[in-house]
Amino acid sequence: MVKGTPDTADGSRTGPSPASGARAAPRRPALARSLERWGAFARRRLRAGELGSLPVVVVLAIVWITFQSLDDSFLSPRNLSNLSVDIVGTGMIAVGIVFVLLLGELDLSVGSVSGLAAAVFAVLNVNNGVPEWLAVIVAVLAGTAAGAVQGYSFARTRVPAFVVTLAGLLTWNGLMLYVLGSSGTINLDANGLVAALTGYYFTQDAVAYAVAALAVALVFLVPYQDMRRRVAARMPHRSLRFVVARAAGLAVVAFAAAFVLNRFQGLPLALLIFLVVVAGLDTVLRRTRYGRQVYALGGGVEAARRASLGVTRVQTAVLAVSGTMAAIGGLFLASRITSVSQSSGTGVLLLNALAAAVIGGTSLFGGRGSTWSAVLGMLVIQSIASGMAITDTPAAVQFMITGGVLFAAVVIDALSRRSQEAYGRA
């Protein structure tokens, strides 16, 4: 599902008439043939420096197996369900960071923006009695505006975004403290809309299974329709077996997750929103003109400019997306603890969100990555945190392990970039 580039490249494309080609080939066991095909696919991706999400999935498996062997409550429905809610706040922020990383830039302001949005919401709703829905909209738009201002300054001055957003980090944090004033900690309405964001669970089993079924159907039908269209046009296309295998793979994961979640309290609303947002923005990046422009800018600003792209417009929009996602993440984080304080959006939040995007496989060099890396990266980070908590390991060790994983992710990123370039020179 996670892909390094916005294209549909993979090793399983067959010629215009796959059926006749396959029939002409000498009969071999289907398993051997598909293994061979997967081997060639993996080798090609490896050589082209396109590991995609493979390393992070391996890391996640190692983390889960390790903690499960240390304490068998780690993979319990209760812990996994909590994990799936805990990743959402920071994960939303990480999704915004993916957009910025795709440009080859960094946004250091997301932590402060998330805190600012939470403060705006709390002050409007709790202190001033503004209706919750309106306060949510204003808070999210505040994040959009903060991001757009930074994006426009970055695009016009051509100062690297990390510098502009470093200024933003201080400014928005100051603004948050100003907005909070002397309030200190503001407790949110425990029965309100924002509290429900992370507090609501679909307790009927059917909901989780229906969502899983819908996801599988989409992941099968969209490529299947594309395949049919390509067959009709006598174009190279994916084999039916690949399309089915991918949907089946997702089905296993999705229904297993639904089963586990139903054994605790059901599908968490927060997780559902998170997955819908990630899938939606992934579609925007890979299937729309705007997304293509984001990737193009990551591949080379000058090349994009010469292709008459509106560079300023796209750069501003990307930072605005990042600010918006930070604000949404901030509301989820506030919802989780049903309060907003002067420490909202500070501390390791920014670092965790950044680390999640990179661990998940989005390149620091721009132009390669996917919103799904925010999900995978957050799963790794939050699994380590949760495992450490369960096994009573001190926070110091947790930081060192997360740091090690991040370092490994950065090295893999750099190596795959190098091998891609070396491959290109050949």
Place of tokens 């598909």: 34
> Cα separation of 327 and 146, whole Å?
10
Cβ distance to another protein smaller for residue 23 or 306:
306
Q: How far is the CB of 234 from another protein (least distance, A)?
A: 9
Q: How far is the CB of 261 from another protein (least distance, A)?
A: 31
Cβ distance to another protein smaller for residue 9 or 395:
9
3-class secondary structure, 237: strand
Cβ distance to another protein smaller for residue 51 or 258:
51
Q: How far is the CB of 246 from another protein (least distance, A)?
A: 17
Place of tokens 């390509």: 230
Say how many residues make up the chain: 426
Q: How many CB atoms sit inside 10 A of residue 396's CB?
A: 9
Cβ distance to another protein smaller for residue 28 or 425:
425
CA dihedral 403, 408, 413, 414 (to 10 degrees): 100
Please list, in sequence order, all residues whose beta carbon lies within 8 angstroms of the beta carbon of residue 409, skipping any fewer than 6 positions away: 55, 56, 355, 358, 359, 361, 377
- Cα–Cα nearest to 91, from 405, 389, 379: 379
Cβ distance to another protein smaller for residue 407 or 423:
423
Question: Helices (H), strands (E): how many in the chain?
Answer: 17, 6
> Cα separation of 33 and 38, whole Å?
9
> Cα separation of 177 and 183, whole Å?
9
Binding stretches for another protein (CB under 8 A): 5-9, 13, 48, 50, 226, 229-230, 233, 235-236, 283, 287-289, 292, 295-296, 298-300, 302-309, 366-368, 420-421, 423-424, 426
Beta-ladder partners of 187: 339
Cβ distance to another protein smaller for residue 21 or 236:
236
Cβ distance to another protein smaller for residue 78 or 234:
234
Q: How far is the CB of 368 from another protein (least distance, A)?
A: 6
Q: How far is the CB of 300 from another protein (least distance, A)?
A: 5
Q: How far is the CB of 370 from another protein (least distance, A)?
A: 13
Q: How far is the CB of 230 from another protein (least distance, A)?
A: 6
